[in-house]
Structure formats: C-alpha cells, structure tokens
Amino acid sequence: MADDSAAKTLNAFLGVSRSLSGRAWRQRPADAAVVRAHMQTLGLDEVLARALASRGVRVDQGADFLAPTLRALFPDPSSFMDMDAAAEAVLDALQAQASIHVFADYDVDGASSAALLVRWFRAMGHELPIYVPDRLTEGYGPSARAFDTLKASGADLVITVDCGAAANEALAHAAAIALNVVVIDHHMMRSEPPTALAVVNPNRPGCNSGQGNLAAAGVVFVLLAALNREARRRGLFADRPEPDIRQWLDLAALGAICDVTGLTGFNRALTGLGLKVMSDWRNPGLRALLAAAGAEPGPAKSNHAGFILGPRINAGGRIGRSDLGARLLSTDDPREAEALAIELDALNLSRREVERAVTEAAVRRVEATGAH
C-alpha cells in the first residue's frame, strides 16, 4: 500500500492527485531527454519544457511551436492534390470573364472561407456572388436543386468551400448540366472524389500535404497563395498590385478556432498570426459584431473568436438567413456591417432562448417519467 501511495504521489501534478470532481489528475508522460533538450536549446524552465514534450513537440519543432511563422511553416500549395488545377481553373474563368460564384457552408468556417475568396476576387476587380444553402429547406452542402438555381442565374463556375468533397451525386448533376465546379474542403471524404475540375482537400485519400488539421478557411488561404502564384506567372500583376493575403489572416484564424481544429504546425502559425491581425479590428464586419456584442476592441484572443464572434455568426445559419455571416465578413461598408451585426446579435439571443426552452422541456419530460 505504501508503494502504491508513493506512486500516486509521484504521478500527481503539482502535488495534486484529484480534481474537485474526484478524477485523477496526473502529468502527461514526457520523454526526459526531450524535456532536457527543450530546456537547453530554448532556455525554458522544466514545467514549460515538459508541457512541450508531453504534447509530442520534438526538439527540432520547439522554436516553431512557441513562435510559429508563415515563412517557416507555410506549405507548398502544390503539395495539396489538385491545388494547381484549382488555381488554373479559377484564373481561366476569371480571365475569360466567366460568371463565378462561391458556394459556402452556413457555419463560421464556411463564412470565413467565402469571405476570403470574395476579398481576393475584389482585389482583382471582380465581385464574387455568395450562395449559402438554407439549413432547413436545402440541408447541408451542395444539391442538384442548388446547382440548378446557380446555373439558371448564369453561373459558369462554382467554387464550393467547406463542403462538396462528399457530394458525389450533386456534383455529378452539376457536370450533367455543364456547370463547372471546383471543390475546396477539409472534411473526410470517399476514396472516389466527386466529378469536378479540382477537388482540394488535405483529408482526401492520396493527398500528401500533411495539413489534415486545417479548417476549410486554412485550405482557402493556401488557395489564395496558389492563385497569386499562378496570376504572377500569367503576368496579371503587371497593371495591378498583387493582393497581400496576410491582411486576411484574421478570417483564417476565425475559421480555425471556431471549427476547433488542432493548432499545430502551419495551422498554429495561421491562427496565432491571424489573431494579431484581428487585434487591429480592420475588418468592418468583425469590428461591428464586436460592438454589437458589447465587447471592447483590443488584443484578440481565442475566446473572441470562439465565444463572442463565432456564436453570433453561426446564429444566421441556425435560425436566420444562412448567408448573413458570409456577407458580414465580406462587406467593406461600415453601415451594412453594423446592420448585419445587429441582426446577428439579435438572432444569437433568440437562439439562446430557443436552446434554453428546449433544455427545460427535455428536463421536464425526464422528470415526468420519474427517471433519475
């Protein structure tokens, strides 16, 4: 018993063996050699060095984990399957003055992804219409009905973001009606990709990018880099400045945080630097939404994205108009941003009331059955 007690004491964290709920509280195991190496090479104290080692951060990764940079961690866009094909297809359509539309999911990641594309196209002198399916009447993701609507509106190319990788039947229908589609997604998908000009997804079987923890907004951010590179190759920046995609890192960070992605490697750099960009509150929609929520501007933290901005953007897709979030993040008009932010804040209050009522009703039903 004494030996068992001693073992428990050794495994306790900071001398505490149990949480308030009675759960065992122990240190994560860490390789002692890696802990020492982090202490020596990075000048860390043992607690922080152990925290890195216990999270699987190798000795050669420590500096990038603590101070991640895009220069060190930005992946080659060509490492993503179909990324080059996607950039070529989009620029072919842009140069042909085709009608291009973005089709987005209705959550924060979808809205952020759509806004990233809208802002890049705007910098190239082109306004990109946004289509977001209604959650209640159209369901999730692309559908034959949605593609018929887009085709009837004159669309030549549709870029789906945060959806589409598993919509094989819908994309087969798009091909049948001669509607070109480029898919940008991050969700798990079948081994057989849908019919499209390109299907870019770090979680696509066979993709060797190693970026499977990215949200869709992160994948779109890499696409913007690929678009800049291809546009540069085609000489499209001879008479216009090349869009500086770093100014939109706040949108990439918003998608990463609200989609609860793993913040390691490139995604960690994207998110950390994105929060620094967000701290300036230059995006009219984010600034207006922060004001509508009654929060003060200042250094952006993950809780700004996850608990203040995110729920309000999501409210549009859940109980309001599904495109409100994407429109908010895309607009450069302060008045439009203010009106959209106020509407989203009100919808978020309504959402909370609906959830409260549903929870109370569920509790009453359980109590009525006599269950314990």
Nearest to 109 by CA among 303, 306, 298, 337: 306
pLDDT of residue 303: 94
pLDDT of residue 14: 66
Question: In angstroms, rounded to a whole number, what is the distance separating the alpha carbons of residues 141 and 160?
Answer: 9
Q: Are the C-beta atoms of residues 35 and 48 closer than 8 Å to each other?
A: no
Considering only 49-58, 93-102, 294-303, which range has the smallest mean pLDDT? 49-58
pLDDT of residue 1: 41
Q: Are the C-beta atoms of residues 117 and 159 closer than 8 Å to each other?
A: yes
State the DSSP H helix or E strand holding residue 157, giving kind and residue range, or none if neither.
strand 157-161
Tell me if residue 13 falls in helix, strand or coil: strand
Residue 2 confidence (pLDDT) above 60: no
Section 192-198 average pLDDT: 97
- Higher-pLDDT residue of 93, 364: 93
Q: What is the DSSP letter of 159?
A: E
Q: Is 61 exposed, middle or buried (0-12, 13-18, 19+ CB in 10 A)?
A: middle
The two counts, helices (H) then strands (E), for the chain are: 17, 5
pLDDT of residue 100: 98
* Max Cα-Cα span within the chain: 79
- Higher-pLDDT residue of 62, 241: 241
- Higher-pLDDT residue of 238, 27: 238
Considering only 24-28, 68-72, 95-99, 274-278, which range has the smallest mean pLDDT? 24-28
Residue 168 neighbours by CB under 8 Å, 6+ apart: 190, 192, 193, 194, 195
Residue 24 confidence (pLDDT) above 70: yes
pLDDT of residue 368: 78
Q: What is the DSSP letter of 293?
A: T
Section 260-285 average pLDDT: 97
pLDDT band at 360 (very low <50, low <70, confident <90, very high): confident
Handedness of CA 252, 257, 261, 265 (dihedral sign): positive
Question: In angstroms, rounded to a whole number, what is the distance separating the alpha carbons of residues 39 and 45?
Answer: 6
In order, the DSSP letters of 96-152 are TT--EEEEE-SSHHHHHHHHHHHHHHHHTT----EE---TTTT-SS--HHHHHHHHH
Residue 353 confidence (pLDDT) above 80: no
State the DSSP H helix or E strand holding residue 368, giving kind and residue range, or none if neither.
helix 334-369
Domains of the chain: 2-58 (no CATH), 77-352 (3.90.1640.30)
pLDDT of residue 286: 98
